[in-house]
Amino acid sequence: MKRLLAAVLAALTLFSLAACGEQAPEEPAPPVQEEISPAGPPLSTEPEPPADPVEELLGRMTLEEKVGQVFFVRCPAENAVEDVRSYHLGGYILFGRDTKDKTANELIQAIQRYQDNAAIPLLIGVDEEGGTVVRVSSNPHLRSERFASPQRLYDLGGMERIAADAGEKDVLLKALGFNVNLAPVADVSTGPNDFIYARSFGRDGAATAEYVSTVTAQMAADGMGSVLKHFPGYGDNEDTHTGIAVDKRPYEDFVNGDFLPFSAGFESGGDTTAVLVSHNIVECIDAELPASLSPNVHRILREELGFDGVVMTDDLAMEAVSAYAGDGAVAVMALEAGNDLVLTTDYRTQIPKVIKAVENGDLDVAVIDTACRRVLRWKQALRLLEGPV
């Protein structure tokens, strides 16, 4: 009886505690063990991305060096070695005067002297189109016969012969020290009386596109820089070396014909291909300015054709463009229009004018940076920047 009473009293006590909001004590939770982490931040397993050599190089260049790099100039008859250093030139283009009567060894040694004096390896270019424009094979010391024209090659053996010929040119030019051939001619011309006809493939846009694709693909495989010329297409215009040519054709003609070989070359040549812009005034694109100085021509190249490589002028010393800059700073106009490389004989005058325009705020330094970056990318694609620079 006493045991029953004690049990009842215990139950009543628990009931009254619960009713008052008090709870019976709980058993303590087991202690939480803290994880001990190693000192310092966790080690990353991702490798560091390699530094971009072009951006590193661009970042440590002076304004004078950047401006010099965007000039691809005619090799002067005098002080060529000294000018490489003093003007920080991007490259030399050699003409018949520079190769005439030279032996292969003499030409190799001359080009090597230019390279030895360059802080950044030079573009060394030449016009070796075949046919009427042959700066190297016109010298019998360098080749026993001249390279044939595109039309002649095609008649002899079709596209296979054209590809083989492009390969032969690349082997010879590279052995002599050249890394850029200002070829192929991508102009569409079907009229034997046209100024550009003898230098062209002589067929319509589609056939010329196949020719250009064949040549640029071979040149890319050989590591030789190619230059498609003369954008937006020469057509049946007059020679701009001696005056202004005005192209009155409708824009549809360019879209359906002239642009086709350029687009084909951009695709097959990849990052080893550049494009040269003519001095023709193309009324349907820009009725006021030569193509080489026209922002709209360059907009079409970039936006409509999607080309992101190097764009260069034809020689700015030609009479077709010399009058367009009132103060003589035609190279400033060319860079503002969207060119990356200025081709000129008159670089000793034009380079200081470009530097002055940047320093005065008349030309945005970003324009120079963009152009110089593209030039360095082209040199990188041609394997010119592989050593320390």
Q: Cis omega before residue 141 (within 30°)?
A: no
Written as six digits, the tokens of 159 are: 């596209």
Written as six digits, the tokens of 217 are: 């693909």
Residues in CB range of 135: below 8 A, 6 or more apart: 94, 95, 96, 98, 99, 126, 127, 128
Q: For residues 334 and 329, what is the distance between their CA atoms, to the nearest angstrom? A: 9
Catalytic residue among 314, 315, 340, 346: 314
On whether the CB atoms of residues 276 and 230 are closer than 8 A, the answer is: yes
Q: For residues 154 and 123, what is the distance between their CA atoms, to the nearest angstrom? A: 30
Catalytic annotation on 241? yes
What is the full DSSP assignment across 114-170? HHHT-SSPPEEEE-EEETTEETTTTSTTT-SSPPPPHHHHHHHHHHHHHHHHHHHHH
On whether the CB atoms of residues 134 and 146 are closer than 8 A, the answer is: yes
- Residue that the structure tokens 């400033």 belong to: 332
Catalytic annotation on 340? no
354: closest CA among 64, 37, 137? 64
First to last CA, the chain: 107
On whether the CB atoms of residues 374 and 383 are closer than 8 A, the answer is: no
Catalytic residue among 52, 239, 241, 327: 241
61: closest CA among 88, 97, 91, 25? 88
Please list the active-site residues.
241, 314
